[in-house]
Amino acid sequence: MAEFTLDLNDDQKAVREWIHGFAADVIRPAAAEWDEREETPWPVIQEAAKIGLYSLDFYAQQFFDPTGLGIPLTMEELFWGDAGIALSIVGTGLAAVGVIANGTEEQIGTWIPQMYGTPDDVKVAAFCSSEPDAGSDVGAMRTRAVYDEAKDEWVLDGTKTWATNGGIANVHVVVAVVDPELGSKGHASFIVPPGTPGLSQGQKFKKHGIRASHTAEVVLEDCRVPGSCLLGGKEKLDERLARARERAKSGGERLKNAAMATFEASRPAVGAMAIGTARAAYEEALEYAKTRTQFGRPIIDNQGVAFQLADMRTQIDAARLLVWRASWMGTTGKPFTSAEGSMSKLFASEVAKKVTAQAIQIFGGNGFTREYPVERMHRDAAIYTIFEGTSEIQRLVIARTLAGLPIR
């Protein structure tokens, strides 16, 4: 039996140091500027592309790390640099995963390269799922996709919201309802190719945090895409819908639990993002506390400050262990019998909000200004308890899982 260890192997250490170097040398110096501009940091994305950090190949390598730690290590270091810029770098990955999970080999080979572009001409992609009335409640989705058999086209109509890269993306992946009677089981995903008429950007959101990441509505009006843009193909969709109709009569909950397993496996990555932001704020506060003097001594000599830092570090390390456990479970196929994925995302996101707030407190008045980065980190941290499932949804998932109840 292999000995239990939390030591990273040499490859993992090398990747972590490589990403940390990029975050320190390229992302950090640009963070304040792009936060103020509230624009996509194209030059930084291009720099990431030039070294292979902005590419499907890199993220695929990390995803297939047999320990499950490749993705959380990557996310923690990038988001340690800056959450807004990091989200601009990794946002395309969500759309890419949607294609890989549901598409054919031909669709993957056709569309993934167009999502990333080239180092000299970088592109981004957008995954469009949330709607004004369908965030946590995916069953309330209204965007429709109707098949025009005569033209072999799908006609998309509806409005998506909170779409990272929405409207500026080269490729959009849109989730739409194809069978309203099946609720969330009647959804399908579609590629909207570049320049397709009927797709437009709606409102661009001016956000509290992660402001270097473009977030907007995507409006679909009589948006026609070829039949080949249905991910997985029409035959596969018809078979899946037929099975869903049968399972709706008996055994439908098994389908719901299988879907929840997918979410459980992806949520630790968001937890790792939160840890990166929390760690950055903690390190800034620690350094400030060691150098800032009041009453003739560094403020870290005061228990009121020192104990805060002790709690901050303890909570960050505890959050990382939960994320690593859930990531390992997802990669090795261990069942999430206690919603361990949701646990990791819930705890890490709450820690990020708390730690960044404590960092501002340690900085005092300076921490409340934009002259110091902890103010930005605190604004960025607020998103972690909201996107990819709010803290309230995570608690609901955990509670119902512990009670043996289906997740609705």
Q: What CATH code is carried by the domain that includes residue 24?
A: 1.10.540.10
Question: What gap in Å lies between CA 170 and CA 162, rounded to an integer?
Answer: 17
Reading the block at residue 393, the tokens are: 């949804």
**How many CA atoms within 13 Å lie on the side-chain side of 49?**
19
Query: Domain ends where: 74, 103, 121?
Result: 121
Residue 407 falls within a domain, yes or no?
A: no
- For residue 294, what are the CA distances in angstroms to 297, 363, 364, 401? 6, 12, 12, 50
96 lies in the same domain as 171: no
**Do 244 and 311 share a structural domain?**
no
Return the closest-CA partner of residue 111 out of 100, 127, 122: 100
- Give a yes or no: residue 95 inside a domain: yes
Q: Does residue 5 lie within any of the structural domains?
A: no
Task: Look at residues 177, 140, 138 and name the one whose alpha carbon lies nearest to residue 157.
Answer: 177
Q: Are residues 258 and 398 in the same domain?
A: yes
146 and 267 belong to one structural domain: no
**Domain stop point among 96, 121, 146:** 121
Is residue 368 domain-shared with residue 331, that is, in the same domain? yes
Question: Do 258 and 177 share a structural domain?
Answer: no
> What letter represents residue 286's amino acid?
L
- How confident is the model over 182-201, as pLDDT tens digits? 887 899 999 999 999 999 99
Give the span between the Cα atoms of 384 and 381, in whole angstroms.
6
Query: CATH number of the domain that 228 lies in?
Result: 2.40.110.10
Instruction: Note down the domain range covering 197.
Output: 125-248
Question: What's the total number of domains in the chain?
Answer: 3
Shared domain for 398 and 266, answered yes or no, is yes
Residue-level pLDDT, tens digit, the chain, 408 residues = 567 889 999 999 999 999 999 999 999 999 999 999 999 999 999 999 999 999 989 999 999 999 999 999 999 999 999 999 999 999 999 899 889 988 999 999 999 999 999 999 999 999 999 898 866 666 678 999 999 999 999 999 999 999 999 999 999 999 999 998 888 789 999 999 999 999 999 999 999 999 999 999 999 999 999 999 999 999 999 898 988 888 767 655 444 444 455 567 789 999 999 999 999 999 999 999 999 999 999 999 999 999 999 999 999 999 999 999 999 999 998 999 999 999 999 999 999 999 999 999 999 999 999 999 999 999 999 999 999 889 999 999 999 999 998 776
364/261 same-domain check: yes
Instruction: Please give the sequence-ordered ranges of beta strands (E in DSSP) within 205-272, or none if there are none.
Output: 215-226
Question: Among 216, 233, 248, which residue terminates a domain?
Answer: 248
* Residue 223, domain member (yes or no): yes
Q: What does the block give as tokens for 216?
A: 């907007």
Residues designated catalytic = 388
Maximum distance among all Cα pairs of the chain, rounded to whole angstroms: 82
Is 408 part of any domain?
no
The pTM of this model reads 0.93
CATH code, domain carrying 351: 1.20.140.10
* Same domain? 115 vs 241: no
pLDDT of 249: 72
Residue 389 has what DSSP assignment?
A: S
Query: Distances from the Cα of 96 to the Cαs of 66, 124, 163, 344, in angstroms?
Result: 21, 10, 14, 24
Residue ranges with strand state E in 119-186: 121-122, 125-128, 144-148, 153-164, 171-177
In a domain, 1, yes or no: no
Let me know whether 260 and 395 are in one domain: yes
